[in-house]
Amino acid sequence: MRTDRWPSTEAEAIEVQQRLRHRVELTGPDVSAARTVAGLDVDYNGDRIVAAVVVLDAETLDVVETSVADGDTAFPYVPGLFAFREIPTLIAALDGLDATPEALVCDGQGLAHPRRFGLACHLGLLTGLPTIGVAKTPLGRYDMPAAQRGSRSPLVDDGDEVGAALRTRDGVKPVFVSVGHRTDLDSACALTLRLTPSYRLPETTRLADQLCRGESASLSDQWVR
DNA sequence: GCGACAG
DNA sequence: ATCTTGTCGC
């Protein structure tokens, strides 16, 4: 998949978001019933990044396939334009898969974004796949949900409900779930709960994080000598 | 002017 | 994201 003609200025990047945001689809196949789900994450190494994709069997949570790719940091870090840093390398990692997963779980926001077009939305549009965003910190306001796993409360930004604060573990800080593309918030939360039998973050995200960290460390030679 | 700001 | 030890708890 091509990600050429990448924006080089903030103004261009914002234009891209404004142009694409209206193509996000808020309905689709029930993502919580997907048979295979992929998690994506990246590790930063100066001006280089390593991206990892881990595909799991959604029923057993066994690893089906993995892929890694490394590349340049494609854009400076600007809040709201975060996706432009990571997407080219994430796409390269996705291109390395043998089989296309039925849904993607992104490490960041989807609709919970100032222009309603976070990383998960962007990656959804570029791949055409159903995507959700599961972020560790919120973008928007929320009331703390009840302490029990499964409890949720609306994540609100500028008067819009853009996602949910969702407890994935009793008494542990919630995660922040939002729709990326071709799904709805209830399905996104249901999928997130399926992927969190043991930890706060989805297994997909945890395993992708481990994979790109390990790959990144071996590339930078830190453990030799 | 000051604080906030996904990763 | 990263700089950073030990400690408490399941």
| Tokens standing for residue A159 | 């008067």
Spatial distance from the CA of A190 to the C1' of C8 (Å):
31
Q: Taking the domains of chain A in order of start, what are their residue ranges?
A: 23-219
Q: What are the distances in angstroms from CA A13 to CA A43, A83, A120, A161, A181?
A: 22, 10, 16, 24, 19
pLDDT at A219: 80
Q: Which amino acid is at A51?
A: A
Binding site, residues of A? 41, 107
pLDDT digit string, tens, across residues A176-200: 999 999 999 999 999 999 999 999 9
**If you average pLDDT over each of A2-6, A21-25, A75-79, A166-170, which comes out highest?**
A21-25
pLDDT at A209: 93
pLDDT at A206 > cutoff 60:
yes
Residues 99-158 of A with CB under 7 A from strand C: 136
Long-range Cβ contact pairs of A75-81 (< 8 A, separation 24 or more): A75/A6, A75/A7, A75/A13, A78/A10, A78/A13, A80/A14, A80/A113, A80/A114, A80/A115, A81/A10, A81/A13, A81/A14, A81/A17
Q: What percent of chain A has pLDDT over 70?
A: 97
pLDDT at A225 > cutoff 60:
no
> Could you check: is the Cβ of residue A209 within 7 Å of any atom of nucleic acid strand C?
no
> Could you check: is the Cβ of residue A46 within 7 Å of any atom of nucleic acid strand B?
no
Looking at domain A23-219, its CATH class is alpha beta
Under the banding of pLDDT at 50, 70 and 90, the label for residue A174 is: very high
* Number of residues that this document lists for chain A: 225
Spatial distance from the CA of A175 to the C1' of C2 (Å):
21
> Could you check: is the Cβ of residue A203 within 7 Å of any atom of nucleic acid strand C?
no
Q: How far apart are CA A34 and CA A55, in angstroms?
A: 12
Whose structure tokens read 């790109």? A212
pLDDT at A2: 75
Mean pLDDT across A203-216: 93
Q: For chain A, what is the mean pLDDT?
A: 93
Order of strands, sheet of A152-157, starting from the edge strand that comes earlier in the sequence: A63-72, A48-57, A36-45, A103-106, A131-135, A175-181, A160-166, A152-157
Query: Which of chain C's bases lie under 7 Å from a protein CB?
Result: 1-2
**The nucleotide closest to A112 (CA, C1' atoms):** B6
> Percent helix, strand, coil in chain A (nearest 5)?
30, 25, 45
Q: Are A90 and A51 in contact (CB under 8 A)?
A: yes
pLDDT at A224: 56
Residues 144-203 of A with CB under 7 A from strand B: none
pLDDT digit string, tens, across residues A33-79: 999 999 999 999 888 999 999 999 999 999 999 999 999 988 999 99
pLDDT digit string, tens, across residues A103-159: 999 999 999 999 999 999 999 999 999 999 999 999 999 999 998 999 999 999 999
pLDDT at A218: 84
Q: What are the distances in angstroms from CA A134 to CA A10, A47, A168, A205?
A: 25, 25, 11, 9
Under the banding of pLDDT at 50, 70 and 90, the label for residue A222 is: low
